Structure 1
């Protein structure tokens, strides 16, 4: 049996952060709708154009963190890292949104962008989750609420997705007079992203081992 390659969790997470930024940018260009989590920040960026899509993401995530702290009445040291990561993600997302903005947009090319974005996003999530270091605020928000309310993760995630989509649709229609960020692609992603992440995680586990350099990072979110 071939020896597995060990990759530091910190490297895995950063790679995932870069890849998910590329994936979201490709899906925006494709125009078929983006993931439920990204839809609301994207709609807000279309309404308030002075604030970029990338910047709306940390604003949205920090808002979620404030809600989480208000509900649980607990602030973990790992939240500080999550805030820094959300700001970094926003900057990276803006970079790729600008870098890829000149891509051609024929129909078949848009389909290619969407499919590529989906595969890249699944790989990115697999790398980030496998890193075992403090996750993005959205992940922390969902995980901590699951523990606090003693319900399944799927129930919290489903409710969160529904709220994001409903708000995105309402804001789009009220402020933009058209549907923005939410489309058939959003529905498709809701059904197949989990499958794709699980499949790629299984494949990765056969060839690599992800282990953080710092054992303290994983403890900061507990």
Structure 2
């Protein structure tokens, strides 16, 4: 009789967690694309790439996000040096995925153009909810940090400051750089507006809401899916 080969349960767990992370990455990118469509600014971490995509439109928002994320990965290497864990280089292909997903999202909703301010606000709210949902899935997957969060962790470890405080500083710095670039390139505020502030203030609450709603169910599913193999 033929013997069926079974995947190692721990390998299966890792595969499922990375799949969940990639699904989370997809929804996060959709959130950025939807918010971008509102033309009221995007989330703080994406704001620099957003301004650059408006100024140098030869490259799409997705590709500017790839460049920005890779710059943050390089920043981690410079900060941590020998302490940098090479597994974190997985952030590079995941950054490419995020950029491609974002461009796909932009294309997906390209048919719709908001003509009223209330429509723009609705897009910002919807984008923030979708972004928060995606981030919560990535957090629950618990495999690797995205480049922004990983950079903040590297910085907080290096200067020995609390992660949450460094995260606030990082977000403010991203918005500050985006505003500076905006005035440098356009002599006015472009690409960073009230939508950026809304995303900065509300994304965390959305993530917490979805974490409470989904964490127990998803983690139970991940454990149960490998239990049959572990019992064999």
Tell whether the 8 Å contact from 2:79 to 2:154 is kept in structure 1 after alignment.
Answer: no
Q: Which residue of 2 aligns with 1:19?
A: 27
CA distance in 2: counterparts of 1:163 and 1:99, whole angstroms? 31
Q: Which protein is bigger by CA-based radius of gyration?
A: 2
CA distance in 2: counterparts of 1:94 and 1:171, whole angstroms? 22
The structure carrying a bigger helix percent of its residues is: 2
CA distance in 1: counterparts of 2:165 and 2:218, whole angstroms? 31
Q: Which residue of 2 aligns with 1:181?
A: 191
Cα gap change, 1:39 to 1:151, in 2 (>3 Å): same
Q: TM-score, normalised by structure 2?
A: 0.83
Q: Which residue of 2 aligns with 1:47?
A: 55
Alignment partner of 1:201 is 2:211: yes
Please list every run of 5 or more consecutive structure 2 residues that lacks an aligned counterpart in the other structure. Answer: 1-12, 227-232
Shift of 1:205: 2.2
CA distance in 1: counterparts of 2:170 and 2:47, whole angstroms? 12
Q: Report how many residues are paired.
A: 209
Alignment partner of 1:96 is 2:112: no
CA distance in 2: counterparts of 1:60 and 1:113, whole angstroms? 24
Tell whether the 8 Å contact from 1:132 to 1:211 is kept in structure 2 after alignment.
Answer: no
Alignment partner of 1:122 is 2:122: no
Tell whether the 8 Å contact from 2:40 to 2:193 is kept in structure 1 after alignment.
Answer: yes
Q: After superposition, where does 1:17-96 map in structure 2 within 5 Å?
A: 17-74=25-82, 75-96=84-105
Larger RCO (CA under 8 A, 6+ residues apart)? 1
